[in-house]
Amino acid sequence: MRSSVVIVNWNAGDALTACVASLADDARAGCEVVVVDNASEDGSAAAAAATAPWLRVVDAGSNLGFAAGANLGAAHVAGDVMVFLNPDARVLPGALATLVGALVAAPRAGIAGGGLVAPDGRWQPGAARFHPLGHLVLDTTVGRLPARWRQLPHVVDWVYGTFMAVRADLFRQLGGFDAAYFLYGEDMDLCARAARLGARTLHVPSARAVHGPNVSAARRFGLGREAEVVKGELRFYARRGRPGDVRLFRTLAVCKFGLKAALAALIGRSATAATYGRVVRACLSSTA
């Protein structure tokens, strides 16, 4: 199966060039790579294209956000499998082929997400649970300890859009990402809608990408980035969840992040306390 990579960029700077460079071997093997540029002001798309003549850049004309930008990119590719990759991520050698291969080898799977590591090699989560209780309580450092040691592909509820492969026919059947999500929550939503059609989602830990700082999100949201994540998840529960999910998520999130804010303030980590304080306020004020 032919694969296509879509990268949605907004002022990612040098991170985008590094991301594109990590795909050079895949591009030489026939994989098409498209960058959708959401009206960046830093020249990052042009800089990346200057180093990779095989790269195509699609100018979005404005900042569409991730979901709509990814849909625009998907309309410009012809692969049987679409791979969405964040501009602050770099795939390790063979990772793209491993991810796509695992998806193709599992006929009942429609989506697959790769394993993520920080630039210093530390493990990062790449999959999570749907239910608010499981997500907020079990998707934690302790709850994810078993996942750190898994290497074989396995079924999960949803995977992060950081490094995500989707069968093109399924993506089109779903109508792509829901553009009601500007940033955060659209990956969770896509996996949920796929599951309702009977398509499984896999996590493929051995298909690794190095995920750096969230350059674009940090530039746009600053200390409010974590609050935006929660807003996206609240939107998911409001749009796709079961009755009571929004209320349960708000209650658990206020308790969890309120405690984190208090503990951070107690030990003098004012920036961390402010970050979690914003999350609590988002939980209480967001209309989803």
Residues 6+ apart with CB under 8 A from 11: 40, 41, 42, 44, 215, 216, 219
Residues 6+ apart with CB under 8 A from 118: 124, 210, 211, 212
CB contact at 8 A, 79 and 2: yes
CB contact at 8 A, 87 and 8: yes
Residues 6+ apart with CB under 8 A from 271: 223
In the chain, the amino acid numbered 31 is C
Specify the pTM. Answer: 0.94
Per-residue buried b or exposed e for 126-142, using 16+ beta carbons within 10 Å of the residue's own CB: bbbbbbbeebbeeeeee
**pLDDT tens over the chain, length 288 residues:** 899 999 999 999 999 999 999 999 999 999 999 999 999 999 999 999 999 999 999 999 999 999 999 999 999 999 999 999 999 999 999 999 999 999 999 999 999 999 999 999 999 999 999 999 999 988 887 778 888 888 999 999 999 999 999 999 999 999 999 999 998 999 999 999 999 999 999 999 999 999 987 666 666 666 678 899 999 999 999 998 888 999 999 999 999 999 999 999 999 999 999 999 999 999 988 776
